Amino acid sequence: MEKSMDVIGLGELLIDFTDVGKSANGMRLFEQNPGGAPPNFLTAVSHMGGKAAFIGKVGSDMHGLFLKETLEKEKIDVSNLVISSDVFTTLAFVALEPDGEREFSFARKPGADTMLKFEEVNQDLLQSTRIFHTGSLSLTVDPSRTATVESIKFAKKSGAVISYDPNYRASLWDSEEKAINGMKSLIATADMMKVSDEESVLLTGEKDYRRAAEILLSMGPSVVAVTLGADGVYAAMRDGGVLVPGFRVKAVDATGAGDSFWGGFISQYVKTGRKPSELTKEELTEFTKFGNATAALCVQKFGGIPSVPYEKEVREFLKNNG
């Protein structure tokens, strides 16, 4: 089948109720922002000119319908977004620290995103993509766990490159041990993987990010990117890695930063039409720098999807910031 899609993402689509200060009565105010790691990532791909589609489930409530409209505005294919009257759209309340870091509280027992079944996944759509992307929040419970695993198998068999971004949220797992085992379970299936420095320690037990990347590469992927916050990103392949510095900006909200980085990176990679293992060190550096610029612009605004920049903005930022 002809590959008409650049990237398809499967996983959680939810509302981030983001802390935006206090009311006149001193009560905390939360702003309704569309979010979820895979949709944040796909928005970056779409904003960079890529053809993207999302697979997931929301409730037929005000939040679910708002999320569907949001993805449509971002030019993300929602033909396999399941809208169900049986479950409520997942909500995440996000309290912000002064440095833009976040504390999460989820309303997800169960949330619609966890109830996606593999039978609801459009296999023709899976066959149509160059890259299939998923995170790890869909692995916390069934049926979304099975839907994720089976979709990866099907997409891989159909020739897709598998992209993986394990996203650790302690409150969504029964224990840290189950989280580690769950997140590790997809590494062998991945061709390309993005992980934060904290998550790399969790998955490998190795505090040195270079060594952690080596361990992750030995588990299957051809490309591993370890995000290091303000210090940038260490991107590695089997023949070595590159540390690409981040851009110094005033961060107000880190929501979507890693997703924006990876969406920016993947949007440039997909244009090569090659296997991940065929990338050069120069390309690895260039794509990482592009991703860093995408993330630097993202963290200067509030929310996930609303803060993702467009390609023109990223190119302009790179021109002005070397």
Could you read off the pLDDT of 210-241 as tens digits, one per residue? 999 999 999 999 999 999 988 999 999 999 99
> In the predicted model, what is the mean pLDDT of residues 142-157?
98
- pLDDT attached to residue 100: 63
**pLDDT beyond 70 at 206:** yes
- pLDDT attached to residue 65: 97
Distance, C-alpha 27 to centroid of its chain: 31
> Residue 302 sits in a domain of what CATH number?
3.40.1190.20
- pLDDT attached to residue 50: 98
Question: Domain of 294?
Answer: 5-321
**pLDDT beyond 80 at 98:** no
User: How far apart are alpha carbons 47 and 242 in whole angstroms?
Assistant: 26
Mind listing the pLDDT tens digit for each residue in 38-71? 999 999 999 999 999 999 999 999 999 999 999 9
Mark out the alpha helices in 165-280 (DSSP H runs): 176-184, 197-204, 209-218, 257-269
- pTM, two decimals, is 0.95
- pLDDT attached to residue 33: 87
- pLDDT attached to residue 59: 98
User: How far apart are alpha carbons 17 and 31 in whole angstroms?
Assistant: 5
User: How far apart are alpha carbons 120 and 81 in whole angstroms?
Assistant: 9
Interhelix angle 62-73/37-47, nearest 10 degrees: 20
3-state helix, strand, coil split of the chain in percent (to 5) is 45, 25, 30
Enter the DSSP assignment of 221. -
Name the residue type at position 140: T
**pLDDT beyond 90 at 96:** no
For residue 71, count CB atoms less than 10 angstroms from its CB and return exposed for 0-12, middle for 13-18, buried for 19 or more: buried
The number of folded domains in the chain is 1
User: How far apart are alpha carbons 154 and 170 in whole angstroms?
Assistant: 29
What is the four-CA torsion angle of 71, 305, 91, 230, rounded to 10 degrees? 150
